[in-house]
């Protein structure tokens, strides 16, 4: 069989797989749009195979790569199973991603992406795959949201995906342009540790850096990495993008992101000192997010009435503050830099509701908290004095915030149970919202 014949056969195989899987059913919204997109990609590849001479090995190799990508994509969609992740959370996350990740395409100026979801192994599975912008055999953009399989029930940790929404936004050309400008003007041109790759490297190799950092640098030095070549290994642009995405996560999910970010990052890097070629030091990222949350006034309890709820809020923020690295070395930006950059990112996200997290009143949060205390899912439903049920809209991000407050204030309640109450609440709130919207 020649290479061309083999590729043609593989194209037919992909058609069979498509017919067996996406042709009929996938997910709550069906699979028609995925089927059509994949079939279009497959047909294009098939026509390219037919146009290529048997002896054009270079083109055949490229076509082989395209077939591999398509085959991988279909397999990922095929093994996506509703039973393996929290679909109530996913439905809310999709609303955010679809609202903000809009692009100009052939069919209009604000085309949303197609989104599908799957679970994968490992705590580090959390991510959103965005297809690249550079040329590829595709028509519409597909976002793949990935959850760790083992954390299916731990909905309180899922706000970490707010960070990944940031990466997805970054792929939209117009938004990338605006975000790049914001970062450049507010975090780079304003001076400090990220003024240039050289200033970042001097910060990392500062003689007064904490011992844990020095130990980590000593580990890196065994692999030939030093202050002069740090950014030949690490990617300074990637570090900036990660910082931006942490801030987008905070601004899109609010306090629940701060908690999930701190828990998960420290779970995998307990010293806070480690960093990677794409990620700046964990301790700096966590400290930046907590400081930014404080600057947003999330920790302000002055307007709250005394009681369990206020106590829970105080404990939540006090405990987070206690997990910040003490050493000022870990501070990346000044307060003013953080305030300015958050103001501008908030303005941008605010144009794409519900992408920007909106604080609600203490009364709403307190009422939700009281429900958790009674082991009832914290939803917008009350019985009034006349015994009549009253439905209210509640943003799922506030349900998650209340879950985290309850973790502090009701220590006897198992974390799994809290997560389940919050997941049920998101599910039930979806029903309440549909009722209120009269859909």
Partner 1 sequence: MSIISVYEADKSDLMYKRFASLASSYLDMPENAKSSTAQIPLENLFRLLEMYKYDAFSDESRTGILAVKNNKDRIVMRSASIPWQTKVVEVLDSAISEIFKGTKKDEAVDDLEETLRLLSSSNEIDDGRKRRARGFFNKLAEELA
User: Interface with partner 1 includes 347 (CB under 8 A)?
Assistant: no
Pick from 5, 29, 124, 343 the residue near partner 1 by CB under 8 A: 124
Pick from 4, 41, 114, 371 the residue near partner 1 by CB under 8 A: 41
Q: How big is the site for partner 1, counted in residues (CB under 8 A)?
A: 60
Measure the CA–CA gap between 230 and 184, rounded to whole angstroms: 21
Judged by CB, which is closer to partner 1: 134, or 374? Answer: 134
User: Interface with partner 1 includes 198 (CB under 8 A)?
Assistant: no
Measure the CA–CA gap between 371 and 367, rounded to whole angstroms: 7
Q: Pull the structure tokens for residue 157.
A: 């940790």
Measure the CA–CA gap between 426 and 424, rounded to whole angstroms: 6
User: Interface with partner 1 includes 152 (CB under 8 A)?
Assistant: no
Choices 201-209, 237-245, 399-407, 430-438 (CB under 8 A): range interacting with partner 1: 237-245
Contact 96, 349 (CB under 8 A): no
Residues in the chain: 439
Contact set for partner 1, span 87-106 (CB under 8 A): 103-106
Measure the CA–CA gap between 385 and 420, rounded to whole angstroms: 29
| Beta bridge partner(s), residue 128 | 145
Per the rule left: phi > 0, alpha: psi between -120 and 50, beta: everything else, 254 is left
Measure the CA–CA gap between 170 and 162, rounded to whole angstroms: 13
Taking the complex as a whole, the smallest distance from the CB of residue 156 to partner 1 amounts, in Å, to 16
Taking the complex as a whole, the smallest distance from the CB of residue 146 to partner 1 amounts, in Å, to 7
Choices 89-97, 231-239, 317-325, 367-375 (CB under 8 A): range interacting with partner 1: 231-239
Pick from 126, 239, 333, 352 the residue near partner 1 by CB under 8 A: 126
Contact 166, 341 (CB under 8 A): no
Contact 48, 63 (CB under 8 A): yes
Pick from 3, 33, 40, 212 the residue near partner 1 by CB under 8 A: 40
Pick from 32, 79, 174, 393 the residue near partner 1 by CB under 8 A: 174
Separation of CA 132 from chain center: 17
Contact 82, 28 (CB under 8 A): yes
Q: Pull the structure tokens for residue 304.
A: 């709250």
User: Interface with partner 1 includes 135 (CB under 8 A)?
Assistant: yes
Measure the CA–CA gap between 267 and 272, rounded to whole angstroms: 10
Taking the complex as a whole, the smallest distance from the CB of residue 338 to partner 1 amounts, in Å, to 19
Q: Which residues bind partner 1 (CB under 8 A)?
A: 36, 40-41, 43-44, 47, 61-62, 65, 103-106, 122-127, 132-140, 146, 160, 163-164, 167, 170-171, 173-174, 176-177, 180, 220, 223-225, 229, 232-233, 235, 237-238, 241-242, 245, 264-265, 268, 276-279
């Amino acid at each position: 069989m020649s290479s061309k014949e083999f590729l043609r056969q593989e194209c037919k195989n992909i058609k069979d797989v498509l017919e067996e899987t996406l042709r009929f059913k996938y997910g709550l919204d069906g699979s028609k749009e995925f089927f059509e997109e994949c079939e279009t990609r497959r047909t294009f590849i098939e026509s390219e195979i037919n146009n290529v001479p048997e002896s054009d090995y270079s083109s055949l190799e490229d076509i082989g790569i395209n077939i591999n990508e398509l085959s991988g994509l279909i397999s990922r969609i095929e093994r996506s199973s509703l039973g393996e992740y929290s679909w109530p959370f996913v439905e809310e996350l999709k609303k955010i991603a679809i609202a903000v990740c809009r692009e100009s395409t052939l069919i209009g100026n604000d085309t949303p992406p197609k989104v599908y979801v799957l679970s994968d192994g490992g705590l580090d599975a959390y991510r959103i795959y965005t297809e690249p912008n550079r040329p590829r055999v595709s028509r519409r953009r597909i976002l793949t949201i990935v959850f760790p399989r083992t954390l299916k029930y731990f909905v309180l940790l899922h706000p970490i995906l707010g960070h990944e929404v940031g990466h997805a936004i970054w792929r939209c050309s117009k938004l990338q342009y605006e975000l790049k400008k914001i970062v450049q003007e507010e975090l780079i041109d304003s001076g400090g540790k990220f003024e240039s790759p050289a200033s970042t490297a001097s910060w990392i190799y500062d003689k007064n850096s904490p011992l844990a950092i020095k130990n980590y640098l000593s580990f890196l030095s065994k692999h030939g990495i030093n202050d002069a070549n740090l950014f030949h290994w690490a990617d300074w642009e990637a570090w900036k993008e990660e910082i931006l995405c942490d801030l987008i996560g905070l601004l899109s999910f609010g306090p629940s992101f701060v908690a999930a970010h701190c828990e998960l990052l420290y779970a995998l890097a307990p010293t806070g000192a480690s960093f990677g070629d794409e990620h700046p030091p964990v301790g700096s990222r966590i400290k930046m997010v907590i400081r930014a949350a404080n600057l947003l006034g999330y920790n302000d309890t002055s307007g709250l009435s005394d009681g369990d709820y206020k106590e829970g809020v105080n404990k939540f923020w006090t405990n987070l503050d206690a997990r910040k690295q003490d050493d000022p070395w870990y501070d990346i930006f000044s307060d003013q830099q953080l305030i300015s950059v958050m103001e501008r990112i908030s303005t941008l996200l605010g144009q794409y509701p519900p992408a920007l997290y909106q604080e609600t009143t203490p009364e709403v949060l307190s009422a939700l908290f009281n429900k958790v205390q009674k082991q009832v899912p914290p939803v917008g439903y009350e019985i009034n004095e006349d015994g009549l049920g009253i439905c209210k809209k509640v943003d799922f991000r506030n349900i998650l915030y209340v879950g985290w407050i309850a973790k502090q204030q009701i220590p006897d309640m198992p974390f799994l149970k809290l997560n389940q109450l919050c997941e049920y609440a998101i599910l039930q709130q979806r029903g309440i919202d549909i009722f209120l919207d009269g859909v």
